[in-house]
A and B are shown apart, each in its own frame.
Chain A
Amino acid sequence: MNRFDMTRIFALDTEGDEAGRTALLAPSRRGFIKLAAGAGSGLVLGLAPLPRSIGGGEAAAGKEAAAGSLAPNPFLIVAPDNTVTVIIKHLDKGQGAATGLASLVAEELDAEWASIKTEFAPADSARYKNLEFGVQGVGGSNGMSNSFEQYRQAGATARAMLVAAAAKAWSVPPGEITVKAGKLAHASGKAGSFGEFAARASAEAVPGTVKLKDPKDFVLIGKSTPRVDSRAKTMGTALFTIDQMMDGMLVAVIARPPMFGATVKSFDDSLAMKVPGVVKVLAVPQGVAVLAKSTWPALKGRDALKVVWDDSKAEKRGTAEIVAEYKAMLDKPGLEVRKDGDAEAALKSAVKVIAVDFEFPYLAHAPMEPMNAVVRFDGAKVEIWTGSQLQTIDQSVAAAVLGIKPENVTINTLWAGGSFGRRGTPDGHYVAEACAIAKAYGQPVPIKTIWTREDDIKGGYYRPIYLHRIEAGLDAKGAIVAWRHRIVGQSIMSGTPFAAAMKGGIDPTSVEGANTLPYTIPNMRVELATMKIGVPVLWWRSVGSTHTAHSTEHMLDIIARETSRDPLELRLSMLSKHPRHAAALKLATEAAGWGKPMPAGRFLGLAVHESFKSFVAQVAEVEAKPDGGFKVTRVVCAVDCGLAVNPDVVKAQIEGGIGYGLGAALKSVITMKGGVVEQANFDTYDVLRMSEMPRVEVLIVPSDQPPTGVGEPGVPPILPAVANAMLAASGVRTVALPMTRQSYRRA
């Protein structure tokens, strides 16, 4: 997911086409998600609000507040039993949204942490929109940053009302009342709990403005508040979408085309229907669905299906052909993304030019819980249970598929077994297909549509293939005077509602990190060529920075090596305008012992990269053998993410990001032959395992800046940091990923 202002991108509209708007999605969704293409005024401002059909009343949230509760806004309920339920507007896919947002409310409310419960908000963008997106959803690591003020305000509002109620009851001035850990008290000895005053507080006027705490008074923010979900997830009681069990529920799986863009020509379900437990076989736009009373018969039924596919419109190229086409494009100028000075002239007059090409493969996200959704459709209204990441999109896509209004779509967001971008789909495709099955079946029973791992690995929505060429021109002293960076790849945003963020045909997700290179280089040009390939692609944890960080940061070490300079010194000499990059680098390198003698066979590599407004530097230590074998033994990481609301969650996200990126560095790759994906499960799509996980030390740069992203920014630097360590060890450049594609044998 990216960090673009979706308030300027989305216009959700159920009234049909309007002048100046262009339907961008498939015809079946025409009229539901539109992009404003109006000239002059630019993009549509804001979202046509959805009617408030869910929850009832202005204040109560996902559930009706119990009698005697205080629910002054959509974000919390203080109950007579002293519990405080915080309504979490974002999906929690492991990043800690529930813990983080609850801690903001608890802080300003002065609630007792043990009394906090959390509940996911319904799909209702009027109340629960992401303040950066303008629609409900989370991505671009902005869950905390867009909620930081909003959830604190919510807590402070409730606190003020509780204090006002107590002040009246005790006949004392509100200013004399103290609140601590869920208890109200007055110097006179009067004291009471939140629960005792909840009902009376709800009769108080909701204050228009409230004063937020001075950060020096924080008792939870900046502390490592324990996660709210640790116990349930450790004991096995947390419920995910796949765990939904309802009376009369059917389980559906889809036989999917073997190539992207192929469709069903015909099918024979005679054997499938003989599998005990199989209830129905249905054609849907996505393939052939098998519905059964439970999962195993659905899977067996799918195996017994005979489907003839029409591949006349399918993407039949393999990844070798795609890469060859991209390579040819590297020789041609692309669209200009950034221009400082005159890179062309400076390259011509440079004393030395170093040119390096880089190749990045398709990558699957492979969250541990494959895609799934439960749908119950009664012909007029639908209820959906899923780990919805972009609720407003899922809601409007469901409405479009079912031919109903979005306000008749209820979405229950559940804990999700990972996402890494996979659940934030601009086309809402896995909700769409679950709805298509429910519509085709035509009976109001809950249907759980699940993907198998093979469906997931073969199912597209990959990190796109990219090729890069960086040409660096050096002057007589070895200083970098010219930098031309050409990128060739598929666009993630093109053809989706997010395309409104594209200016001049440039998808910002293809170039982010390259066009924002922080180093002082007088002549710089960044170019992009966008290719059309029939393989669905998607943001993959840290998006453009998954490739731009590697090409730029590895290139710097290649240059440092060619010019006999220290990689740290080279970077710091060009970072005078970017102190946060420099500070992160200094902190990480000092902690890692950069510049000190290393034991035999051990080498360090460093990298720094900004993504999602956070600055992350990493030093990777490798143990390298002469035969080319190596192991990443330790990673020291410094992160500047503004104020760290929950330092332990920040560290966890960075640790996880390092592992996620390291898997892509070392081994993960999706390839296609003749349009058919060659990987199917974790035996062929190899991901990081325990024995490959290095020791990780995360240092947080102290900061009083507003909080910024942590879910994604840990990923980008690890690829170049490891490559740089291996460059130091072997002299081999990592020009194609994953690193299994080349030998690091010492010459």
Chain B
Amino acid sequence: MPISFTVNGAKRTVDVDPETPLLWVLRDDLKLTGTKFGCGAALCGACNVHLDGEAVRSCQIQLQDAAGRDVTTIEGVTGNVAKAVQDAWIKLDVVQCGYCQTGQVMAAIGLLTQIAKPSDDDIDKAMDGNLCRCNTYHRIRLAIHEAAKTLPG
């Protein structure tokens, strides 16, 4: 049975197993490959997307539970917070292998949307579920502070 939902502002309809994790629908069916597979078990954050504006693990959301809802992926993320985060990431050359970074960026946007000027503790709490095996954590922290500096609040 076809299931419809909104992705990056456009209505999309897919007809696959309704239990398919949103992650694989986005990647395999909609070819939005910026959202990454890292663990399949909500343990790493590489698959972070925004569901109705909130950062979630797309590997744990079944397609049927996304029906009628609003999904934003790294390809569609917009706004001043997103721009501040991505600009800071590029300015500080945060990335190394880069595989986890789209999930990191989505999590950081989620954090800065909630807390405009996060402390180190806020960052630890918000970002602890996002693994980076290159261990770019030091720069992620600096980049979140850098982005916060450019945002009002």
Contacts and interface: CB of A to CB of B under 8 A. Distances in A.
Contact of A233 (B21, B33, B98, B130): B98
B20 A296 contact: yes
A696 interface: yes
A683 B139 CA distance: 24
A137 interface: no
A20 to B, nearest CB: 41
B99 A660 contact: no
Contacts of A94: 95-98, 134
B93 A226 contact: yes
A296 B98 contact: no
Interface in B24-71: 24, 27-29, 31, 33-41, 43-44, 46
B100 A368 contact: yes
Interface in A632-689: 648-649, 652-653, 655-660, 662-663, 681-683, 687-689
A649 B34 CA distance: 24
Contacts of A367: 97, 99, 133
B89 interface: yes
Interface string A327-370: 00000000000000000000000000000000000000111111
Nearest to A372: B37
Interface string B70-95: 00011100000000001001100111
A294 B29 contact: yes
A653 B124 CA distance: 22
Interface in B87-140: 89-90, 93-102, 105, 123-125, 127-140
Interface stretch (A186-194, A283-291, A410-418, A610-618): A410-418
B124 A240 contact: no
A418 B96 CA distance: 8
Contacts of B29: 294
A699 to B, nearest CB: 15
Contact of A688 (B89, B105, B135): B135
B59 to A, nearest CB: 10
A691 B97 contact: no
Contacts of A365: 133
A417 B134 CA distance: 9
A239 B138 CA distance: 25
A227 B98 CA distance: 12
B128 A418 contact: no
Contacts of A240: 36, 99
Interface in A293-309: 294-297, 299-300
B39 A227 contact: no
Contact of B43 (A243, A418, A649, A683): A683
A368 B99 contact: yes
A39 interface: no
Contacts of A276: 17
- In the complex, which range does the number of interface residues on chain B fall in? 35 or more
Contacts of A230: 89-90, 93-95
Contacts of A649: 93
Nearest to B121: A691
A650 to B, nearest CB: 12
Given A230-B89, A245-B31, A367-B133, A689 B97 contact: no
A420 interface: yes
Contacts of B139: 652, 655
A231 B17 CA distance: 35
A649 B93 CA distance: 9
Nearest to B31: A245
Contacts of B90: 226, 230-231, 234
Contacts of A93: 97
B39 A682 contact: yes
Given A227-B95, A683-B41, A690 B36 contact: no
B105 A294 contact: no
Interface residues of A, number: 69
B26 to A, nearest CB: 11
A295 B27 contact: yes
Contact of A368 (B20, B89, B97): B97
Contacts of B37: 242, 295, 370, 450
Contact of A652 (B96, B101, B133): B96
Given A235-B74, A236-B74, A415 B98 contact: yes
Nearest to A448: B28
B13 to A, nearest CB: 16
Given A233-B95, A652-B139, A690-B124, A420 B133 contact: yes
Nearest to A417: B99
Interface string A230-269: 1111111111101101000001000000000000000000
Contact of B124 (A242, A415, A420, A691): A691
A658 B135 contact: yes
Contacts of B27: 243, 295
Given A296-B24, A368-B36, A656-B96, A418 B134 contact: yes
A452 interface: yes
A663 B101 contact: no
Contact of A294 (B28, B34, B124, B128): B28
A660 B33 contact: no
A365 B133 CA distance: 9
B39 A681 contact: yes
A240 B38 CA distance: 13
B98 A417 contact: yes
A689 B96 contact: no
B93 A648 contact: yes
B123 to A, nearest CB: 7
B16 interface: yes
B134 to A, nearest CB: 5
Contact of B97 (A232, A235, A416, A694): A416
A693 interface: yes
A96 B36 contact: no
Contacts of A652: 93, 96, 136, 139
Given A226-B93, A296-B16, A235 B131 contact: no
A297 B99 contact: no
A272 to B, nearest CB: 14
Contacts of A420: 133
A373 to B, nearest CB: 15
Contacts of A688: 135, 137
B136 A655 contact: yes
A450 B128 CA distance: 26
A425 interface: no
B17 A296 contact: yes
A659 B96 contact: no
A619 B133 CA distance: 22
B96 A96 contact: yes
Interface string A508-524: 00000000000000000
Which 3 residue pairs are nearest across A and B when measured between Cβ atoms? A236-B34, A659-B135, A233-B98
Given A368-B36, A687-B131, 15 more contacts: A96-B96, A230-B89, A230-B90, A236-B74, A240-B99, A277-B17, A295-B24, A299-B40, A300-B17, A368-B131, A452-B40, A648-B93, A659-B135, A660-B133, A682-B39
12 contacts: A229-B98, A230-B95, A233-B95, A236-B73, A236-B102, A251-B28, A368-B44, A662-B135, A682-B131, A683-B41, A690-B140, A693-B135
